[in-house]
Each structure stands twice: as structure tokens, then as C-alpha cells.
A and B are shown apart, each in its own frame.
Chain A
Amino acid sequence: MSTDVSADRIPIKLRAEALEQLLVERGLVDPNVMDSFIKTYEKDVGPLNGAKVVAKAWTDPEFKARLLENGTTAVAELGFKGPQGEHIVVVENTDTVHNVVVCTLCSCYPWPLLGLPPTWYKDPAYRARVVKEPRTVLAEMGLTLPESTEVTVWDSSSEVRFFVLPQRPAASEGMSEEELVAIVSRDAMVGVAVVGA
């Protein structure tokens, strides 16, 4: 790698185009394969998957028990598996316990359930601070927890991927599983927000 940063500060967009061109013209990369990767994570694999898992857990106690016992096999029942989902551990938020997930070393994230991570998850301030002062960080992000709530931060350092099962809001009583899917936010499944009805 270059050590002289100023010499190669070409715009990153141009850099990506140059590398793609070099690899495509030598037959090492197929642009159609690139397009399919991009489309997969833009259209098919995203937080809607996780929301389906949560809504099912809220309405099917046996599924919820399986989900907390073995997240990997339980979400595979719904067809969710793949890269960055080799082993999934689901942790449950309750009246007294709040879980929040981070990856301080890069930005490991449960892709099959949530897609690619949002900007805030990859932000150095989040990575640096949520393992040291989670209550303060969550408050800055809009979630103030009572002092009595137990906070557990999960720092993803192996290939285990953590997924938060948010609390079902009381006002959602009577909603169907489909209706529940629509209220589950991505941010609640990482633990920086709660689900409002």
C-alpha cells in the first residue's frame, strides 16, 4: 500500500471505477455479478427479514422459545441464512433488561436479518463510545433508559452475530402478525431504539 497519502488522493468514486475497469477487462470480474450482489442487498436482504422474525416471536411463543434457544436454526425456518449469519444469538429486551449491539473492531452485523449496516452503526463515535458509556450514547441517539434498567452491550468480535428481540409495545395488542411486521424498526433490532405502536 502507499504510505504517501497526498499522492494518491484521487476521488474514491474514480478509484472504484478504475479498479472495476482493470478487473473487468482482464475477465476477473463480471459486472453482472457485481450488479446482482448490489441488487441483493438493496432489494432482497434487509431489515424486513428481521421484522418478520420479531413479529413471529411476538405472536408464536413456541417460535420465540426456539429463537432464544438457537437463533440460527429458528431464523432458518423462515428462510433466513447466508453470509454473516453463520451463528446467530438472539437476546431479548424486557422491562428490566436492555441489550444493544456493536462491533468495535469493524462493523460486523447480522446481514441475513438486517441487511448491510446503516451509517450510524459504522460511525467511529458509536463504535468507540457505546462500549464505554452506553447509557449516554443511547440518550444522545434518542433513547433514555431508566437507571433501574440493566444494560448489556454486545461487542461482536467473533463470527457470532447478535440480534435484539425488542419488547412488544403494549399498544400493539390485537394487531396481526403482518401489522406487527410494519412497526418493527431496524434500529430497535440493534438496540438503539424501542418499538412504538
Chain B
Amino acid sequence: MTGIQAASGVADLGGAEGWGVAPLLDPAEPVFKEEWEGRAFALSLLSMRISGTNLDAFRHAMNRLDSEHYFDDGYYGRWLYGAENLLMDSDIIAPGAVEARAANMTGGHVDEPPAPEPHKPEYAPTAGGSIRVIEAPQRFQVGQQVRAKVMQAPGHTRLQKYTQGHVGVVAIVEPAQILPDTHAHFIAENAQWVYTVSFDSKELFGPAAERFTLNTDLYEDYMEEAS
């Protein structure tokens, strides 16, 4: 089992500089460009099941990759590395097992580490999916000014850096959902209200920013009243 590790922040791309021009559209591209991408996709979905983890843990398993593993093999590359993280966290596969097998599949003769004794996280979801019915009243209302907290705690989060500390207005009250920050680490579901909050582009990026509105979802724990 893994403890709470600091996310590398590699995935938190909103507002980042240096990525060059926007990609071109390709309406004819296949779902999986290469066969291994489909295998990695299916293996990743199944790895969540096999490791006894969940979608938030899977996202965190990708977020703690270094930038080479996160970017160099593309989207399904990071899925595969993330899935391996989950399987190693739950002691389904031993560190080095994949590398050893890959070596032996290509003419090598190396000892493979034995399969470890599995240790899946001790937690059970209270229901399927992420949406929950809760009794707690909504802390915030549509039209209310709110601030996205500045949060630098270690571990998983869905609070992007580029919204932190900025003031927006609640646009939509979304269904209550389990909190990824604790669910990813099997601590608690912490089901709570989620709000779509509207930020003015100039509030986020300064007076020279293009004119637009940025809407994103904030979990109640990410928010405070803006006086």
C-alpha cells in the first residue's frame, strides 16, 4: 500500500506556458492509433478492479509520474504506467516484473521477481459511481461570490493551480460527489456539494487577458466565501 505522496504537479497543465501551437483536428483518426493503445486502455480499466482501487486513485497514480513517463508515450502511455503503479501499490505485481518479462519476451534470460502477496486497500465504496445523496445543506448558492482556496497539501486533488486564490461566482449547483482528495487515498468518501463556478478571465490571468468566462467545478472543501 502506498502512503500519501506529493503529486508531481505534472498533470496540472491549465495556464502553463511553453506547449506551442494548438493541435490540428483530424476527424478521420482511429479510436486507437496503434493496437497497443487499445490493450493499454483495457488493461488500465481492469487494473483498477484487480488492485481494488478506484478512478481517483488511478488519476493520482498518473499524476505522480515524472514528466517523461507522463508525456513521452502519450495518453495511453501514461494510462499504462498509472495502471502499473496501482498494481504495484496493491502488491499485485512486483517492481521490476514488467521489465523482466519484457526482457525475456525479447530473447533475454533474466530472473523474474515472484508475484507478491496482494495487499488491497481496506475500503468499500458506499455506492457505485461518484454521485451521492447527502443531507448536508449547500454552503453556497447560485450567484454567490466565492474564492477558490489556496491549497498545497500533499496528495491528490482536482483543484487546479490556476484557479487558486481567485474569486468567481457560483453558476450551477451540481450533484454531491465523493471528494477525490480523500477517495484517491481510501481515507473517506467525504461526499459533498460540487459547484460550477464562473471566473472572469481577467480575474484569473490579469487585465491583458482575452475576454472570456472560465467555468470549472469546485468541491465545497475547495471553496470559501469571498467578502
B17 to chain A, nearest CB (A): 8
With contact pairs A12-B36, A120-B23, A153-B215 given, residues A115 and B210 touching in the complex (Cβ less than 8 Å): no
CB under 8 Å from chain B, chain A span 112-131: 115-120, 122-131
CB atoms of A123 and B23 under 8 A apart: yes
Q: Which of these, A38, A131, A147, A185, contacts B15 with CB under 8 Å?
A: A131
A37 to B40 CA separation, bound complex (whole angstroms): 11
A28 to B97 CA separation, bound complex (whole angstroms): 15
Q: How many residues of chain A get a CB closer than 8 Å to chain B's CBs?
A: 79
B172 to chain A, nearest CB (A): 7
Contact with B along A14-41 (1 / 0, CB 8 A): 1111111111001011000111011001
CB atoms of B80 and A154 under 8 A apart: no
CB atoms of B88 and A1 under 8 A apart: yes
With contact pairs A15-B80, A136-B210 given, residues A120 and B24 touching in the complex (Cβ less than 8 Å): yes
Q: Which of these, A20, A107, A118, A131, contacts B14 with CB under 8 Å?
A: A131
With contact pairs A10-B99, A86-B131, A105-B11 given, residues A41 and B212 touching in the complex (Cβ less than 8 Å): no
Q: How many residues of chain B get a CB closer than 8 Å to chain A's CBs?
A: 91
Whether B95 sits at the interface, judged by CB under 8 Å, is yes
Whether B140 sits at the interface, judged by CB under 8 Å, is no
A163 to chain B, nearest CB (A): 14
Residues from chain A with a CB closer than 8 A to the CB of B218 are: 157
Whether B158 sits at the interface, judged by CB under 8 Å, is yes
Whether A171 sits at the interface, judged by CB under 8 Å, is no
CB atoms of A33 and B42 under 8 A apart: yes
A119 to B32 CA separation, bound complex (whole angstroms): 10
CB under 8 Å from chain A, chain B span 151-177: 158-160, 162, 172, 174-175, 177
With contact pairs A28-B92, A131-B214, A187-B27 given, residues A37 and B45 touching in the complex (Cβ less than 8 Å): yes
Residues from chain A with a CB closer than 8 A to the CB of B43 are: 16, 19-20, 23, 29, 34
With contact pairs A12-B80, A152-B215 given, residues A22 and B62 touching in the complex (Cβ less than 8 Å): no
CB atoms of A105 and B12 under 8 A apart: yes
Whether B69 sits at the interface, judged by CB under 8 Å, is yes
Contact with B along A144-163 (1 / 0, CB 8 A): 00010011111111111000
A47 to chain B, nearest CB (A): 9
Write the residues of chain B forming the contact surface with A, with a CB cutoff of 8 angstroms: 11-17, 19-27, 29-36, 38-43, 45-46, 50, 59, 62, 64-66, 68-69, 71, 73-75, 77, 80-81, 83-85, 87-88, 92-93, 95, 97-99, 101-103, 105-106, 115, 129-131, 158-160, 162, 172, 174-175, 177, 194, 196, 198, 204-205, 209-219
User: Can you show 7 pairs from A to B with CB atoms below 8 A apart?
Assistant: A21-B105, A28-B46, A106-B62, A115-B31, A158-B130, A158-B217, A158-B219
